[in-house]
């Protein structure tokens, strides 16, 4: 039980840190439509070192707790022959070595002074870190001929989630740093947001079909019910995002009065969106350790 809890915790920390790294480094590249303002670049960059260190530590923790869960005892975490079996004979071990190298590179890059090229590199490498999580979810279960569709859907799902959720924090910083641009910043963000939501909906449906298989399984199994909770939380995020886009953004463009009220409301919405997003990641971290209904045992 403790071993499972440890694995879920490190999965969550890794999802949260890589999501942030990807979304936060991608946002400055499309959020302004011009050169990234120096003050803003410095503010975002300051968060990249702790986030990339967390990604590195949680990647190691995920590996260690996976070893313990597979072997069925905690001592496997420090058992070199066991760890070598994972690295040498399992796809997971080889994938983790590659992901470890990318994580170290992210830490090293975040130690340098920010510029636009480095932002591009950070977003590419953290995107790679995100998309390579495809191999560790359930994008593999049955239906061999459609495996590629499932892989692509899972990869797109991860990237879209990162682009949306990870960008919320720098968006809040940008709004604070440049109040006269609020309306423009929101419109630019919402373009990406709408694309991300579209991708999340389609890829989420594809993945659910592969893993759950039927509406009966959706409500009749623990996995299915947890997936329902994830969809509810996603719905709450979507509701807040729609309010920001279709209710608050037009008011910024139309109003010439004091923006304080709107600013406060927007900030609360973005904060709530992030909290719901973190809860979604928590549910996802748990889901990944459970047996999906489609993989039901036949004897």
Partner 1 sequence: MMRPRLTFVALLALLAPTTTFAHPVPKTATPKPNAVLSASPTEIRIGFSEGFVPAFSGMEVDDASGKAVVTATASADPSDDKVMILPVTAKLAAGAYTVKWHAVGDDTHHVSGHYSFQVK
Please tell me whether residue 69 binds partner 1 under the rule CB under 8 A.
yes
List the x/- string, 110-129, binding to partner 1 by CB under 8 A.
-------x--xx-xxx-xx-
Interface size with partner 1, residues (CB under 8 A)? 42
Query: Would you say 81 and 155 are in contact if contact means Cβ atoms under 8 Å apart?
Result: no
Please report whether residue 92 would count as binding partner 1 according to CB under 8 A: yes
Q: Which of residues 250-279 bind partner 1 (CB under 8 A)?
A: none
Q: Between 134 and 266, whose beta carbon lies closer to partner 1?
A: 134
Nearer to partner 1, 131 or 237 (CB): 131
Q: Which stretch binds partner 1 (CB under 8 A): 13-21, 81-89, 197-205, 251-259?
A: 81-89
Stretch that binds partner 1, among 62-70, 183-191, 259-267, 270-278 (CB under 8 A): 62-70
Least distance from C-beta 57 to partner 1, angstroms? 19
Q: Assess 136 for contact with partner 1 (CB under 8 A).
A: yes
CA 122 – CA 278 distance, rounded (Å): 22
Q: Which stretch binds partner 1 (CB under 8 A): 38-46, 69-77, 202-210, 248-256?
A: 69-77
x/- map, 278-297, partner 1, by CB under 8 A:
-----------x-x---xxx
Which of 107, 132, 152, 251 contacts partner 1 by CB under 8 A?
132
The piece of 9-17, 86-94, 206-214, 239-247 that touches partner 1 (CB under 8 A) is 86-94
Cβ closest to partner 1, residue 125 vs residue 280: 125
Based on CB atoms, which residue is closest to partner 1, 154 or 273? 154
Determine the Cα–Cα distance for residues 85 and 67; give it in Å rounded to an integer.
Answer: 10
How many Å separate Cα 233 from the centre of its chain? 14
Binding-site member from 38, 75, 78, 98 for partner 1 (CB under 8 A): 98
Q: CA of 30: how far to CAs of 20, 26, 119, 126, in Å?
A: 16, 7, 11, 16
CB 177 within 8 A of CB 40: yes
User: Which residues of this chain interact with partner 1, rule CB under 8 A?
Assistant: 66, 69-72, 82, 85, 89-92, 95, 98-99, 102, 117, 120-121, 123-125, 127-128, 131-132, 134-136, 138-142, 144, 147, 289, 291, 295-299
């Amino acid at each position: 039980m403790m071993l499972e809890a440890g694995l879920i915790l490190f999965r969550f920390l890794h999802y949260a840190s890589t999501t942030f790294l990807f979304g936060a480094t991608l946002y400055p590249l499309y959020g302004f439509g011009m050169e990234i303002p120096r003050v803003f670049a410095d503010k975002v960059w300051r968060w990249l070192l702790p986030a990339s260190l967390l990604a590195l530590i949680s990647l190691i923790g995920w590996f260690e707790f996976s070893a313990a869960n597979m072997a069925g005892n905690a001592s496997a975490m420090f058992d070199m022959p066991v760890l070598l079996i994972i690295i040498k004979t399992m796809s997971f071990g080889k994938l983790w070595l590659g992901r470890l190298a990318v994580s170290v590179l992210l830490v090293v890059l975040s130690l340098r002074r920010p510029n636009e090229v480095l932002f591009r590199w950070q977003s590419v490498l953290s995107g790679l870190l995100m998309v390579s999580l495809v191999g560790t979810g359930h994008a593999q279960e049955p239906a061999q001929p459609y495996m590629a569709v499932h892989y692509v859907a899972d990869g797109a799902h991860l990237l879209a989630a990162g682009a949306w959720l990870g960008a919320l924090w720098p968006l809040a910083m940008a709004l604070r740093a440049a109040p006269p641009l609020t309306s423009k910043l929101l419109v630019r963000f919402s373009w990406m947001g709408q694309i991300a939501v579209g991708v999340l909906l389609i890829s989420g449906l594809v993945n659910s079909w592969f893993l759950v298989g039927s509406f009966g399984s959706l409500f009749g199994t623990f996995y299915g019910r947890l997936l329902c909770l994830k969809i509810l939380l996603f719905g709450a995020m979507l509701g807040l995002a729609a309010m920001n886009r279709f209710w608050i953004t037009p008011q910024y463009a139309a109003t010439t009065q004091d923006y304080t009220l709107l600013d406060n409301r927007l900030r609360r919405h973005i904060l709530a969106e992030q909290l719901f997003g973190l809860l979604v990641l928590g549910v996802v971290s748990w889901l990944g350790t459970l047996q999906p209904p489609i993989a039901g045992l036949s004897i």
